[in-house]
Structure 1
């Protein structure tokens, strides 16, 4: 933003700086915003305004900029997303003008969004699904066939906000494209606003990456610890991964064993629980291992509320 000094220098030649300053003072004194300031602080006289012309000029200019805001990215004020506020202090026996920077509503909203976003980590999930905001009415009316599932989800969110982290998570089961991942992303956003951290993991891609992490034990440990400790952990599309015994028993099993009775874990799947157990009971390497499938399910089944998500397939729908 151009300062008062720079503006005076740019004025046409032939007039002294003093004359230019006097004209600018007269303009500032005639400003409706300055009149409001003087109504608030009756002790604010012309002399005080004159010796604080730069402050008053900045105050008026930034107010005008904010009134015609071009957006945070193009904010013309000296301090992006902030404007100058003026106050008057008479504790010294004479009026003394002081200024301070105040964050605008748009800057405050962006900070809030960034704080919420920082609480959520996603692996292989479309960021648009996490960032797009929806109201509870919108997700309820988007597809009335899944209204019962949405109602269960909203009640779960309310319970968590009111009573803290629940012992049970949610298991969203249903056909392709009914919005299970979308509903989980909505839940993450809502609970992140309440201060909870969350991780959402797309299982098919995650399992493939775990195979390469076998050779990076430090990074593997860091990833597993993060999933153990986050408030809300979502395994998205579980059952669609190409499972191997090591992932099932030493990674997934370790995470679930730690979280049960500590923090809730959530799932979306095309499988119901019995079918998921059959999935976990067979690997291409070792064939049928019913007891190991049951062992994993003992860490899932008792710790979830099952939510059946019905409705039409929305993938590819315009």
Structure 2
């Protein structure tokens, strides 16, 4: 039987193998990424180093770079999904280091941003809102400008404008959508937001008395970096939820100068009228005025109008 060493020598020296090897070597050395690497490391890389590292160079060129061969993160063709190869020198030899690719960074950033937004009873489709998809027509331009001014002033969790916005108008004009879009923009700045659908929240607060979680839930909401109260005025407000829940939250945020956003179908004056009458029909002007004073201290009113975009 022919010794294995002699067999390998005969195969390697065969014309067909030599031709394929030279073709592969030429293809590798013509790759722009390889050429750049060799230029940057010309003082340390000679022909012997290249020949020893040809396998690594070949592995490098047939993978995706800057996601140019991948339609999406889930269809990544690289050895490590979501990571792109970079040529490196390791103790005088050519090696490959893998770093997160552009698509993986985008995915990770999106997941991180999502973790900074806590939604309480808000619809999932609303939570995916973006300012890029908000149509600032004439009836909504004032709201769009107010939002961009707020975001321009916000540079991070430690530098936020003290005053938020109060969006009001008829059903379906984009008030809730705009809240979520702002929350997503703030998340890109590492700012945490809590979005609360007020009618459902108030119903849960009544139940929280029984399971002794009321204070914990109120404290969580009132201390949010940015609080967004959606659809205030749509709930059947009792004296207790108005004064002990909503009033407590607003008083804390006013004292701590924490930005607060709200949406409502009511203007300021209409909301005050709504807050004046309890479920029992009792008229409580002073208590309603006290809550409204806090709302006015925390927000600037902006009307949204236009067509109903839910239809």
TM-score, normalized by length of structure 1?
0.81
Q: Post-superposition shift, 1:306?
A: 1.0
CA distance in structure 1 between the aligned counterparts of 2:206 and 2:264, rounded to whole angstroms: 22
Asked if the contact 2:122–2:196 (Cα under 8 Å) also holds between the matched residues in 1, the reply is: yes
Corresponding residue for residue 168 of structure 1: 163
CA distance in structure 2 between the aligned counterparts of 1:16 and 1:286, rounded to whole angstroms: 97
Gaps of 5+ in 1: 1-14
State whether structure 2 residue 53 is matched by structure 1 residue 52.
yes
RMSD: 2.9
State whether structure 2 residue 254 is matched by structure 1 residue 260.
yes
Q: 1:156 is matched with which residue: 150, 158, 163?
A: 150
CA distance in structure 2 between the aligned counterparts of 1:217 and 1:84, rounded to whole angstroms: 54
Q: 1:46 to 1:28 in 2, by over 3 A?
A: farther
Q: Post-superposition shift, 1:100?
A: 1.4
Corresponding residue for residue 226 of structure 1: 220
Q: Post-superposition shift, 1:286?
A: 6.7
Question: SS of 2:176's equivalent?
Answer: helix
State whether structure 2 residue 33 is matched by structure 1 residue 71.
no
Corresponding residue for residue 105 of structure 2: 108
Q: 2:270 is matched with which residue: 275, 278, 282?
A: 275
Asked if the contact 2:168–2:301 (Cα under 8 Å) also holds between the matched residues in 1, the reply is: yes
Deviation per residue, 1:270-303 (Å, 9 max, x gap): 1111221222222224732322222222221222
CA distance in structure 1 between the aligned counterparts of 2:216 and 2:9, rounded to whole angstroms: 65
Corresponding residue for residue 38 of structure 1: 38
Corresponding residue for residue 62 of structure 1: 63
CA distance in structure 1 between the aligned counterparts of 2:100 and 2:127, rounded to whole angstroms: 26
Asked if the contact 2:65–2:84 (Cα under 8 Å) also holds between the matched residues in 1, the reply is: no
State whether structure 2 residue 126 is matched by structure 1 residue 129.
yes
Asked if the contact 1:169–1:304 (Cα under 8 Å) also holds between the matched residues in 2, the reply is: yes
CA distance in structure 2 between the aligned counterparts of 1:70 and 1:299, rounded to whole angstroms: 51
Q: 1:161 to 1:131 in 2, by over 3 A?
A: same
Q: 1:238 is matched with which residue: 226, 232, 241?
A: 232
CA distance in structure 1 between the aligned counterparts of 2:10 and 2:203, rounded to whole angstroms: 74
Q: Post-superposition shift, 1:247?
A: 2.1
Asked if the contact 2:167–2:302 (Cα under 8 Å) also holds between the matched residues in 1, the reply is: yes
TM-score, normalized by length of structure 2?
0.82
CA distance in structure 1 between the aligned counterparts of 2:10 and 2:290, rounded to whole angstroms: 86
Gaps of 5+ in 2: 1-6
Q: 1:96 to 1:295 in 2, by over 3 A?
A: same
State whether structure 2 residue 175 is matched by structure 1 residue 180.
yes
Asked if the contact 1:238–1:269 (Cα under 8 Å) also holds between the matched residues in 2, the reply is: yes
Asked if the contact 1:167–1:261 (Cα under 8 Å) also holds between the matched residues in 2, the reply is: no
Asked if the contact 1:178–1:310 (Cα under 8 Å) also holds between the matched residues in 2, the reply is: yes
CA distance in structure 2 between the aligned counterparts of 1:155 and 1:36, rounded to whole angstroms: 44
